[in-house]
Amino acid sequence: SHPRINRDVALGDIFVAPEFREFRAERAELERTDGAVLQEDLCKKILEDDSRSVVFGIEQSGKTTFAKYLVGWLRQKSVVPVYVDAGLLKSTNKGEIRGWYKSAIESQFSADAVEKVLESPPKEIVVILDNAQTVRGGDEGVREVLNFVSSKSSRVLILTADNPALSVLSVGTGDDPYW
Over residues 21-50, the pLDDT tens digits come to 555 555 444 444 455 677 888 888 888 887
d(Cα 153, Cα 5) in Å, to the nearest integer? Answer: 44
The model's pLDDT over 66-83, given as tens digits with 9 standing for 90+, comes to: 999 999 999 999 999 999
- Return the half-sphere exposure (C-beta side, CA atoms, 13 A cut-off) of residue 98: 3
- Cβ count near 93 (within 10 Å): 12
Residue 164 banded pLDDT, cuts 50, 70, 90: low
Q: Which of 151, 171, 152 is nearest to 160 (CA)?
A: 171
Residue 12 banded pLDDT, cuts 50, 70, 90: low
State the pLDDT at residue 68.
93
d(Cα 48, Cα 110) in Å, to the nearest integer? Answer: 27
Residue 112 banded pLDDT, cuts 50, 70, 90: very high
Quote the distance between the C-alpha of residue 138 and its chain's center.
19
d(Cα 84, Cα 102) in Å, to the nearest integer? Answer: 9
d(Cα 25, Cα 161) in Å, to the nearest integer? Answer: 17
State the pLDDT at residue 30.
43
> Given CA atoms 45, 50, 56, 60 in this order, what sign does their dihedral have?
positive
Q: Is 94 exposed, middle or buried (0-12, 13-18, 19+ CB in 10 A)?
A: exposed
Q: Are 167 and 142 in contact (CB under 8 A)?
A: yes
Mean pLDDT of the chain: 80
Selected residue with higher pLDDT from 81 and 2: 81
